[in-house]
Amino acid sequence: MGEPYLELHFRKSYPDFNLELDASFTAGITAVFGPSGSGKSTTLNCIAGTARPDSGVLQLWDRTLFSNENRFLSVNRPPEKRRVGYVHQDGLLFPHLRVRENILFGYNHMPKHRRYLQPNDLVRILEVEPLLHRMPATLSGGERQRVALARALAASPEVLLLDEPLASLDLPSRGRILRRLRAVHKETGIPMVYVSHALSEVTAIAEQALVLDKGRQVALDTPRRVLHDAPVLPLLEPAHMETLLEGRVVGHHPGSGLTEAAFAGFTLWLPAVDRGEGEEIAVSVPASDVLVAAEPPHGLSARNVLRATVSALDRVGDSVLVSADAGATVLAALSPEAASSLELRPGAEVSLVLKSTSIIVLG
Amino acid sequence: MPTPEEYSVLFLSLRVALVGTLLGLPVGLTVAWALAKTSMRGKVLLDTLVSFPLVLPPVVTGYALLLLLGRNGPLAGLQRSLDVELLFTWFAAAMAAGLVALPLMVRSMEVAMAGVDSRVEMAARTLGASRWKVFTGVTVPLAFRGIAAGTLLAFARGLGEFGATIIVAGNIPGSTQTLPLAIYTNLQTGNDDAAVRFIVFSLVLALAALLVHRWLIKKAVA
């Protein structure tokens, strides 16, 4: 992990809860994860300057965004002077401007010497070229979010805040935006703060994760470690747990109507996708749809059977979450009875059974 | 068709109402913005103050303006240094028209601006736009129809202004005698035919204003 770029040491009180943070974000993508009402959005608002902390210090690289530690030198930069990009879950495009003017809005407000991202490049990376002359009201949810991303980045911010950018999207759009986001991060190197209540998004994209609960900072570490933190587990909802995998299309099987794709360490048969060999693909496997067998199973109708080693067992709600290493980590949710009858423990060899039809192709 | 004398009354009325509306516009926009978009202290006071001309008899509003513009009023020094005297000029009539119409203007604009999603305005701030740029580039364009409707309503109200006008501008034919004053004078002097002709002109203007206003409001809602 790199240098810290964002220092957050502040508190903000509301009648019903207090947010208290003491965190350093290191360059890359930092996920802020927690149930609703945990203070995720308030955190972003305090960084962007649309909410004012009660006390403390916020620093972005070497610039102080907010400080009232010293009352003679208190600082509270207005949002337009922070150079913080903000993408809201609803996009919040300007409804009276065409896509092109939306994207240029922030660009035009930035002095020339501060512009380090060019709208042309963003239009290319985010694939919004065909949309440039459309009005926001005519865009689909996924298109709207890509435009919102381009607009925020065109202002050449020093950090990009993403507030549940996928929450209002359907599954295929989610995958596409996630892929574009990572491409943007790779090409521009801009640090991102990614707020989500979906753990799968967090583990898929982030290098660092901050977990909040009722305004308290519960954990700050790599997503993998955070996932197995005892105080974090009660915050996870078994229904939302899934494994996100990225790989490439290997081939199609016309007879069965399935597509084969290779991921780190194994291949899977998926519902047929309209994509050529070698193309990238992202899929989601709900943890509750993964079966765990202590012995290699015989005579199964399911196509996908993976050999894996159990790396961790965690109690999440009413289920046991099994993390199994099959080259990539795959999550499986079992009932406690099933887990104990299988005598699962870390290091145990198991087989994972995934029905092709339970695999969701994201994009 | 109107006679040349009638034309001059019509043009004077339109000029008075138009200039009055233009004078009210910056005040109306500022007040409406403050009421719709800020949480400043004294909002109730401001709201009450701009609503006064709506509920006070226009003669009282006119009297307040008379005190303001009079020889001992707070604007006396400014008028002296500019070597102008505003009382009993068409400009005073315009000020009266603008002031009396201000509450109508503010009300429409406030509603329209309050309807603009403040999260979109905040998004503009994070994109580097100052409060002023957000106002001119986001709030006003998105509230445009409501603002236009309020402006038109104020113009129509200004055309009909009588009470405050007669106090600050008098009833001088060719100089401050607007449509309503011409109707009043002709009725008082038993010149009923002339009065009726002015009444018809008033009706036509009012009807036109209302039709355009209706169209603006309908589009704003749709």
Q: What is the DSSP string of A294-350?
A: SS---S-S-SEEEEEEEEEEEEETTEEEEEEESSSEEEEEE-HHHHHHTT--TT-EE
- With an 8 Å Cβ cutoff, is B142 touching chain A? yes
What's the mean per-residue pLDDT of chain A?
A: 88
The reply to whether A56 and A166 lie within a common domain is yes
Task: Say if A109 is an interface residue toward chain B (CB within 8 Å).
Answer: yes
By Cβ distance, the residue of A84, A95, A151 closest to B142 is: A95
The answer to whether residues A284 and A339 belong to one domain is yes
- Asked if the Cβ–Cβ distance from B127 to A80 is below 8 Å, we say yes
Q: Do B127 and A84 touch (CB under 8 A)?
A: no
Distance CA A189, CA B127 (A): 19
Which chain B residue has the Cα nearest residue A152? B127
Contact call for residues A145 and A170 (beta carbons, < 8 A)? no
pLDDT at B97: 96
Q: What is the pLDDT of residue A234?
A: 72
The string of pLDDT tens digits covering residues A287-343 is 888 999 988 888 887 789 999 999 888 887 788 888 899 988 888 988 888 888 888
Are residue A100 and residue A182 in the same domain, yes or no? yes
Arithmetic mean of pLDDT, A26-44: 89
What phi, psi does B158 have (nearest 5°)? -65, -35
Q: How far apart, in Å, are the Cα atoms of B47 and each of A253, B27, B52, B75, B131?
A: 72, 13, 9, 24, 22
Instruction: pLDDT band for A246, please (50, 70, 90 cuts).
Output: confident
Report how far residue A23's alpha carbon sits from residue A345's, in angstroms, rounded to the nearest whole number.
34
Task: Note whether A251 and A132 are same-domain residues.
Answer: no
pLDDT on residue A227:
67
- Same domain membership, residue A161 and residue A52: yes
Q: Any idea what the Cα angle at residue B185 is, between residues B179 and B188, rounded to 5°?
A: 140
**Boundary (domain end) residue, out of A234, A262, A294:** A234
Tokens of A150: 């381009």
Average pLDDT over residues A54-77: 91
Q: The tokens of A317 are what?
A: 């709600």
As to burial, measured by CB atoms within 10 angstroms (0-12 exposed, 13-18 middle, 19+ buried), residue B44 is exposed
Q: Which residues of A touch B117 (CB under 8 A)?
A: 92
Expressed as residue numbers, the domain containing A156 is 4-234
Single out the residue in A215, A234, A253 at which a domain terminates: A234
Domain count, chain A: 2
Instruction: Indicate yes or no: CB of B129 within 8 angstroms of CB of A109.
Output: yes
Q: Return the percentage of chain A with pLDDT > 70, whole number.
A: 95
**% of chain A residues with pLDDT over 90:** 46
Q: What Å distances lie between residue A358 and A159, A289, A298, A333, A353, CA to CA?
A: 37, 6, 20, 14, 11
The verdict on A117 and A211 lying in the same domain is: yes
Q: How does residue A363 score in pLDDT terms, banded at 50, 70 and 90?
A: low
Residue among B119, B120, B130 whose CB faces A80 most closely: B130
Q: Judge whether A38 and A212 are in contact, CB under 8 Å.
A: yes
Retrieve residue A278's tokens: 């070698």
Q: What is the pLDDT of residue A238?
A: 65
From chain A, the residues in CB contact with B119 under 8 A are: 88, 90, 92
Q: Do A152 and B141 touch (CB under 8 A)?
A: no
Summary count for chain B: helices (H), strands (E): 12, 0
- Ranking A122-126, A226-230, A256-260 by mean pLDDT, the lowest is A226-230
For chain A, what's the residue count? Answer: 363
Whether residue A58 is found in the same domain as residue A182? yes
A-B CB pairs within 8 A amount to 60
Say if B129 is an interface residue toward chain A (CB within 8 Å). yes
Q: Which of A50, A71, A59 is nearest to A10 (CA)?
A: A59
Top residue of B127, B133, B147 to mutate, by most chain A CBs within 10 Å, is B127
CATH number at residue A300: 2.40.50.100
Kind plus residue range of the DSSP H or E element containing A210: strand A208-213
Does residue A246 share a domain with residue A206? Answer: no
Task: Determine the distance in angstroms separating the CA of A89 from the nearest CA of chain B, rounded to an integer.
Answer: 11
Q: Are residues A123 and A148 in the same domain?
A: yes
The answer to whether the Cβ–Cβ distance between B119 and A151 falls below 8 Å is no
Among A234, A261, A288, the domain boundary falls at A234
Structure confidence by residue, pLDDT tens digits, A185-237? 988 889 999 998 777 677 777 889 999 999 999 889 887 677 667 677 777 77
Nearest alpha-carbon partner for A352 in A282, A305, A312: A305
Which of A53-62, A276-285, A340-349, B75-84 has the largest mean confidence?
A: A53-62
Name the residue facing B120 among A82, A92, A155 (closest C-beta).
A92
Contacts of B141 in chain A (CB under 8 A): 96
Q: Which residues of A14-33 are buried (b: 16+ CB within 10 A; e: fewer)?
A: eeeeebbbebebebbbbbbb
Domain ranges of chain B: 4-116+147-221
pLDDT greater than 80 at residue A172: no
Q: Please answer yes or no on whether A79 and B117 come within 8 Å at the CB atom.
A: no
- Which of B116, B126, B140 has the highest number of chain A CBs within 10 A, making it the mutation to test binding with A? B126
Residues A39 and A55 in one domain: yes
CA distance A103 to B47: 38
Q: Do B141 and A155 touch (CB under 8 A)?
A: no
Q: Do A106 and B141 touch (CB under 8 A)?
A: no
Looking at the structure, tell me whether residues A273 and A327 fall in a common domain. Answer: yes
B123 inside 8 A of chain A by CB: yes
Does one domain contain both A149 and A120? Answer: yes
Cα B13 to Cα B171: distance, rounded to the nearest angstrom: 12
Six-digit token pair at B103? 């509450």
**Helix (H, G, I), strand (E, B), or coil: what is residue B96?**
helix
Q: How far is A78 from chain B (nearest CA, A)?
A: 8
Tell me which residues of chain B have a pLDDT lower than 70.
219-222
Q: Which two tokens stand for residue A345?
A: 């423990």
* A290-293 and A349-354 beta bridge pairing: antiparallel
More confident residue, A246 or A55: A55
Which residues are within 8 A (CB) of A261 and not within 5 positions of it... i.e. 6 or more apart? A247, A248, A249, A250, A267, A268, A270, A281, A283
Coil, strand or helix at A327 = coil
Contacts B142 to A, Cβ<8 Å? 94-96
Taking CA atoms, what residue in A is nearest to B142? A96
- CA angle, A243 as apex, A303 and A326 as ends, to 5°? 60
Q: Which fold has domain B4-116+147-221?
A: MetI-like fold (1.10.3720)
Over residues A331-359, the mean pLDDT reads 89
Residue in A closest to B133 by C-alpha: A109
CA-to-CA distance for A16 and A38, rounded, in angstroms?
A: 11
ipTM above 0.95, yes or no: no
Q: Do B127 and A96 make contact, defined as CB atoms within 8 angstroms? A: no
